[in-house]
Structure 1
Amino acid sequence: MIRDVFVEARTAMAFDEGAAAWSFDLDLWGRCVQGNSGERAVSAFMLAYGSVQVVETVQGDEQAFGRDMEPLRDEELDATLTILAEQRQRAVQFLSSLPPKVLDYDDPSRELPSYARWRTIRQMLWHITDTESRYYLPSLGLPAKPRNADLSTELLESSRHVRASIATMPRSVVARDRGQVWTATKVARRLAWHERGELDAIEDLLARWGYLHG
């Protein structure tokens, strides 16, 4: 099986200027593999998921693929909602089970892009809700949710807000502002990717620290 892969180049995600390889296949919905170049991102994607063909490459931050411009499909929305529910359970479990010394540990060896301010696990959990409720949704013209001061409450409120917003948004909406392009399909795939990626990074940190959590 040869999968279609879509590449974002010269984009600020895991690197200040790197690349990301995406699949729109339903079984890999929201999956993204990154590298410091398009070639490395595609090679890493192939190692993870097998043979690919690059069908589109876009340059720069917050652009959209041609595939993003298609209306969000029922099965993609359903997959996004399922992933969000599963991942929020993981996030709540991290917050409730990890002690403050772990939640607030700033690992001096951790390398992040220059713009990232979420160095601790607690900050990463805040970053998840900030991104979904106060970046992704407003970028598409959907209402932002004000931040709750309590992280535990915010995780629950933000989840409800995001799920309700994407379940009722127009499936063909496109928003262009200050050089960025957002669509319903793009927001859904980004939501399906972002929290899972951050929580996987938390798992990696805990493993590196030799911390076992239940």
Structure 2
Amino acid sequence: MKVVMASNNAHKIAELRAILSAYGLDVVSQREAGVHVEPEETGTTFEENSRIKAVAVMQACGLPAVADDSGLMVDALNGEPGVYSARYGGPDCISDSDRINYLLKKLENVPEGKRTAKFVSVITLVTPDGKEIVARGECPGHILFERHGNGGFGYDPVFFAEDAGCTFAELAPEQKNQVSHRARALRAFVEKAFGTKKEKELC
């Protein structure tokens, strides 16, 4: 079954394909499906924004659509950047590196023991016949004082994942797919969507 990902982010699509392909789902990007909508993410939670994106794409193409809304939540910053992770720092921060610099600047006086954080991912799938599945995954960690590793994307170089014992940027993609917030959300999603069964649950 074809499922349209409400994104053109190659990293997200690769992670979803790697896991969902085992369940008979062919995940394609908006661009591959000929969908060009860019819904405004007006929600204040990951759940709200994930649903906004999935519904917009499903309505535009008439196919099942899946959306991920994810971000970093830092305890010392009262949960920032949260749902604004991709836009953190405003228009002056145009790259992942800019946003990391902005984050580290805000945390420069925060000691190591107070730099706890978590990555959060919420995955929502909606179908034209009204089915809706929502799953959330979280990965605990803390923010380092400097970058480590050359892989990953976003805040990966400064996020030290407790379960992995290193930053996300130091993990190979297949390793990250075992421990990341998105991997955890996907496992929860698969359990809700399929249980011990396969694709027919969504058809």
TM class by smaller structure: under 0.3
Higher strand share: 2
